[in-house]
Structure 1
Amino acid sequence: MKISSRTRIIAFVLLLIIINVLAFSITLVDKGSYKNTLYYRFTRQRFAWIVSDLPPKYAIKAGWAKVNVTPNFKTPMANDKSAQRWTTVHDSIYTRAVVLDNGTTLAAIITIDLLIMPPSVALELQKRLPTLGFNWKNVYLGATNSHHSLGGWATDYMGKQTVGDYDEHVVSQLTEAILKAVALAKGNRATTQIGYTKMDFRDGEKSPPAENIHFLKLQKLTGESALICSSEGGQTGINVSTPSSLSRDYAGLLTDRLEQRTKSFTLFMVGAIEPPKGEKQGNKPAQDSKPANDTAKQIDGLLASITPLLANLPLHTDSTLIAQTTPLIQNDPQVRISQKWRLKPWLAKALYGDYPAELKALRIGKTVFIGYPGAFSSLLLPSLSKTKIAERNNLIITSFNGGNIGQIVPDTYYYAAQSPYQIRDINRFGPYTGAFVEDMAQSLVNSLK
């Protein structure tokens, strides 16, 4: 059959359009070493600007508070691709804050019962917390990674696919509640003794709720106490009675039972996160949750060991309180669509947002917290545990510090034929993001002197 000239012209024009769209939308993955880049040099220069805090004036004082943030209006649910709205409340959603002070440094630790600490909320806090007397570098953020919590706080396209359409009222209510919790915590500061411990469950029961759980205990001279708690490589979801029920999930159960058993205020932050187990690893797709009763039994078993340990934990006064925050000058986004090709930066930013990213570090006595702007993989923990940072201090890693650069994983997974991570969930800033972020984290912690 003879093809007409008009058909050939139309086919040629369509081919040109496709070529131009592809040229405008995709490009090759940048495989160069991060140490030869401008963003690495600029980030390194930031450490030369870090100013050490003045010597402390007195032993650490601390205060704590929580505020219920369950909205009185229906919102989309987080981590639900249909973005359905919740219909009932299984358990209330909270934000919690601990404020610490040694006379020269005033610091705040803030967590919220959400999938992540929303970048939209973090940006508002950065503007408004100075009115309460807080330098942004001294504000440490985390989240509980609750999968059945409220959504509506994401401003980027891909975020909206997971947590529903953006609602300014949600961001406003979350921000106001956090500010209230911080103000209340600041108002009840008192001289505090501190103590640290952790429990390792990797050699224990077959399917523990976490591999490691860290505890930093704060106790006022009046006897009132608080626990700052973080888990590594554990589950975060539970199956509530109704799929559309709002819940804090595993973090809520753990927090409630800790408070009941220990009579201590408890602030939980998710730590390093276990990679999802999928078919590519030869396993059946993993469930992100277990029945609530099963999880409750696991937690009760865990608390049988933890409660006496915390009750007899040696405590001491300490004045060491140092906080730092450093912005990460990032590479152009490298959201991969194949082994060799990635979206061009303009398209990646349009889809995933263009949020600032920071590393945060906080030292309380001999305990050092490092907060990452994304989901920090538990697969990075073995190498981190061998560093001087971990050898000299009690090291606690937390995820979701208000930034969102995606998964922070071993760089070997970036090109792996089989990986526990989906391409779109892998770190979004190139094949050396893991090494770059770890390099910067060690430099940041070394400044906590």
Structure 2
Amino acid sequence: MKTKRWHRRLIRVFIGLLAALLLLFIFATEAIDTTPYFETEYYRTTIKNIDAEVEKMSKAEGLLYSGFSKTNITPKIVSGNADAAKGEFNSVKMAGYGDGKYAKGVHDSLYAKAISLQVGNQEIVLISADMVLVPEPVVLQVAQNLKNRISRKQLFFGATHTHASIGNCMPSFVGELFAGEYDPKVVKWLSDKFTSLILRSLESKHPSQFGSGAIDMPHLIRNRIIGETGRLNSKLTLLSIVQDNGKKAAVGVFSAHATTVGPWSDRFSADYPGYFQRSLEAKGIDHALFFAGAVGSHSNKGKGKKFKKIEYIGNTLADSAARVLNRIVHDSVMDLALVAPQLQTPKLQAFYVSDNRRLSPVINRFLMPELKSIYLQGLRLNDFIWLAMPYELSGEYGLDLKNALKLEGYNSALTSFNGQYLGYIVPQKYYYYNNYEPRLMGWYGPSMGDYLMELNYRIAGTLTNSRL
């Protein structure tokens, strides 16, 4: 009898555990939301925001003025007392791969660079840094520091997306997973560096000329979702700015991930974008910048291994860029338009549980950073369009939009990491594919890509006064 009672108790305990696990599964996960995005409140609100921004879109015509600035953002790893105001830290984790590796040295220095542009009374600043992304806490503090001089909507942030750069500046569980423990001292130091950088670019403007171009570089990029059969966004887009004092700036935008420096290295490096910038500057460009383009679904390829491969990709891009820059036709008179609406997002649907379920939004809010104002910024300079996006847009999506703009007579740049990070944005056809980008880094459901692409097309169409 005692044995039977013990069996019954064991069965009840087992059933209780199963029930608890079932309840945990039900409350900790949620079915993927497949509601068409155009039927949602977040879509309607964002469209209203865009319409309101278009009504008051900033425009200017006149002569172009530009200013250049640069600052070294390589942390100094020291023992003993560290002065964070001088960029000194006892340890800094490298952001990008999530393996918790501390930087042990410097292979090549990290920089942040800026170009200010002014037409009439309208100003903008293009800012790129040798970082995996420019973290939101840094951007928010910079905007606060500069609120009496220039607005956040006029600041176009981007990054080279090197995975061998500064961590410890991304809050939340996910941020710390990819970049190490959050350190407010790192954020304060970077914010001060960026603030000074932007102010110096604004204070050093000269009469200038502007032009743009592009060259196809398919041998340096691959589609990493479906391989050699995948479509490629393989153009290197180039901007050229020449001041009347003879100084030259060049901006390169390319969509191959800067992941050539892998987890095998424990030294800071700007990856191939660093070689690209240094090579252009050795060829006579005074101020070279690199922005990661629509890097979603796209990786790099090239000859050699490790730093030899990195050097090959960067120098090959720079050699091709130099030829294009020499042929670009410049203009000193600009027609500028600027629009910067805020967008709303769907509820979080991050972290794969099954093909039909993700972790619940309640749990996701504890794991993911709470984002503040999310901007999608658009700029027109004559026949050039720039969209600065707070996510990693699929290169396939980017290719379609760039081709549509080209048919209307516009060259274009689509850049990622504009002050916030919404994960990878891939075509819906890949959402259920067993791949890192949609499964681990697709955070807002299957409609997110089509939703954001409608916004991208709307903004580009507004800037070009066309129906793309």
TM-score (norm 1): 0.90
Distance verdict in 2 for CA 1:431–1:55, change over 3 Å: closer
What residue ranges of structure 1 are gaps of 5+ in the alignment?
278-285
Partner of 1:220: 243
Which of 194, 205, 209 aligns to 1:189? It is 205
Matched, 1:231 2:254: yes
Q: CA deviation at 1:235?
A: 4.2
Instruction: Give the distance between the partners of 1:305 and 1:11, measured in 2 at CA.
Output: 67
Partner of 2:36: 33
- Judge conservation of contact 1:384–1:390 (CA < 8 Å) in 2: no
Distance verdict in 2 for CA 1:404–1:5, change over 3 Å: same
- Judge conservation of contact 2:296–2:424 (CA < 8 Å) in 1: no
Matched, 1:19 2:41: no
Q: CA deviation at 1:205?
A: 7.5
Q: CA deviation at 1:193?
A: 0.4
- Judge conservation of contact 2:388–2:416 (CA < 8 Å) in 1: yes
1:194-343 equivalences in 2 (<5 Å): 194-202=210-218, 211-232=234-255, 234-239=256-261, 243-273=265-295, 275=297, 290-335=305-350, 336-343=352-359
- Judge conservation of contact 1:53–1:105 (CA < 8 Å) in 2: no
Q: CA deviation at 1:56?
A: 2.9
Residue deviations 1:82-127 (CA, integer Å, cap 9, x gap) = 3121111111111111111112211111111111121221222232
- Judge conservation of contact 2:59–2:337 (CA < 8 Å) in 1: no
Q: Which moved more, 1:348-357 or 1:144-153?
A: 348-357
Task: Give the aligned residue type for 2:198.
Answer: V
- Judge conservation of contact 1:65–1:98 (CA < 8 Å) in 2: yes
> Which secondary structure state, in structure 2, belongs to the residue aligned with residue 354 of structure 1?
coil
Partner of 2:120: 103
- Judge conservation of contact 2:426–2:438 (CA < 8 Å) in 1: no
Partner of 2:385: 368
1:79-118 equivalences in 2 (<5 Å): 79-118=96-135
Partner of 2:63: 59
Instruction: Give the distance between the partners of 1:258 and 1:108, measured in 2 at CA.
Output: 21
Q: CA RMSD in A?
A: 2.6
Which of 67, 72, 88 aligns to 1:68? It is 72
Q: How many residues align?
A: 435
Instruction: Give the distance between the partners of 1:270 and 1:18, measured in 2 at CA.
Output: 43
- Judge conservation of contact 1:138–1:324 (CA < 8 Å) in 2: no
- Judge conservation of contact 1:235–1:250 (CA < 8 Å) in 2: no
Distance verdict in 2 for CA 1:338–1:389, change over 3 Å: farther
Partner of 1:404: 421
Q: CA deviation at 1:314?
A: 1.5
Q: CA deviation at 1:395?
A: 1.2
Which of 438, 445, 467 aligns to 1:430? It is 445
Q: CA deviation at 1:161?
A: 1.1
Q: Which moved more, 1:51-60 or 1:222-231?
A: 51-60
Residue deviations 1:307-336 (CA, integer Å, cap 9, x gap) = 233124221112222222211111111123
Q: CA deviation at 1:212?
A: 1.6
Distance verdict in 2 for CA 1:292–1:40, change over 3 Å: same
